Chain A
């Protein structure tokens, strides 16, 4: 199981109160996580990445294992600790605007 932590606004929009756990077949990638999140929570379509281009929205970041993975290839396998559920995959609303 993969643990995904959504920012507060997206938890509200998705109607969930805590972390999200997803069953994903390997390889576990950022794109696969986002596909699964959008399928399970349709209101989040377009809020994390553009629905057509699938490009990450500029003020959304992806962190895991104390690394910023935002600009990594979304189809690259994530660290084993994320795939095995030992570390969460964070979807972050960037600190911006003061």
Chain B
């Protein structure tokens, strides 16, 4: 029978949750790297037992861990992220020039075909690649040397490259608060893809860059269709990001962090609306996932099994994932330390972990 493995990064360690294909009874292992922030853990599509984890601390900096046995044992690999060459400073919060400084790895994205090939999105925003299983890292400098980069500002969480979507030689990234970028040549050159985004919190609401994109998602069967949860607004593009249209529709609020796509239905998408940028919790204290089966605009609330009173948690940008079983499983974690699972595409939910540290990321792996 198939299995599902959830890789859960939290403020105080990493956890691995496993269940069989029924997805009812879950085993929790961890914390791995207890006391460290685990921003992201992700397994290789080419070898699911190869898992990478970003481990960091305000005291001791960045460590990258690698497992070759599905998260049972780990070993540190390379942690040197050295920016390539000289680049003009970016903008600081007060508009003054600020040098690029590496702070942490926000996101790790293993490639589809080679377990040793993995990309890292880092703060201050840049993309790195390792082709030796994480032992050494090399920047793809075309992104950070883009002509707009000296005008990029950090978002409230820092100037982080938090989303990486791989589609062959095409790579999508998203940066807070610069926006989305696409490379069609394996990361050598990049172009901003933010046309159609409208952000009233920046001087030119329709600027080429400067948008606070929170997360992007893509279904492999529709490689030109991207979905985005922006600071405010849920967006979609059907031309690989060249143009975006808003699909917030009837959402109670279109602020939020996560967005994901059903594994088998490319027009079924999920978000978790959050009240506002100054009140990071669900509207009315009711935790609800919203699902659209039409690629946006028409949304239904999914609340069965989720707390419907006095709930004031947040769901952060990398903290939702789907499995590939039938029916599709959907998972998300909260800043309150709960991990919720749905084995029926979101119709009903169960808390499969109740009291973990605040969840930073959730990745689902579907195992044979």
Chain A interface residues toward B at CB < 8 A: 7-10, 13, 43, 45-48, 51-52, 57, 59-60, 93-94, 96-97
B59 touches A46 (CB 8 A): no
Give the dominant DSSP class at B's interface. Answer: loop
Instruction: Name the residue of chain B whose CB is nearest to the CB of A49.
Output: B61
A43 touches B60 (CB 8 A): no
B62 touches A9 (CB 8 A): no
Instruction: Name the residue of chain A whose CB is nearest to the CB of B77.
Output: A43
B76 touches A93 (CB 8 A): no
B61 touches A47 (CB 8 A): yes
B35 touches A9 (CB 8 A): yes
> 8 other contacts beyond A7-B59, A45-B79, A59-B58, with CB at 8 A cut-off?
A9-B35, A9-B59, A45-B80, A46-B80, A47-B61, A48-B60, A57-B60, A60-B59
Which residues in B have their C-beta under 8 angstroms from that of A60? 59-60
Instruction: Name the residue of chain B whose CB is nearest to the CB of A94.
Output: B59
Which residues in B have their C-beta under 8 angstroms from that of A94? 59
Given A9-B35, A9-B36, A52-B82, A43:B59 Cβ within 8 A: no
A47 to B80, CA, bound (A): 11
Which residues in B have their C-beta under 8 angstroms from that of A45? 79-80
Flag B330-347 by CB within 8 Å of A: 1 or 0 each. Answer: 000000000000000000
Instruction: State how many angstroms separate the Cβ of B12 from the closest Cβ of chain A.
Output: 12
Given A45-B79, A45-B80, A52-B82, A13:B59 Cβ within 8 A: no
Given A9-B35, A13-B76, A59:B59 Cβ within 8 A: yes
Please report which residues of chain B, range 37-91, place their CB below 8 angstroms from some CB of chain A when the two chains form the complex.
Answer: 57-63, 76, 79-80, 82
Instruction: State how many angstroms separate the Cβ of A13 from the closest Cβ of chain B.
Output: 6
Which residues in A have their C-beta under 8 angstroms from that of B60? 9-10, 13, 47-48, 57, 60, 93
Instruction: State how many angstroms separate the Cβ of B60 from the closest Cβ of chain A.
Output: 4
B57 touches A46 (CB 8 A): no
Instruction: State how many angstroms separate the Cβ of B41 from the closest Cβ of chain A.
Output: 17
B61 touches A57 (CB 8 A): yes
A46 touches B62 (CB 8 A): yes
Instruction: State how many angstroms separate the Cβ of A39 from the closest Cβ of chain B.
Output: 15
Select B61's contact among A7, A46, A97, beta carbons within 8 Å.
A46
Which 9 A-B residue pairings sit nearest by Cβ, starting from the closest?
A: A43-B76, A47-B60, A59-B59, A93-B59, A46-B79, A46-B61, A47-B61, A51-B80, A59-B58
A10 to B62, CA, bound (A): 12
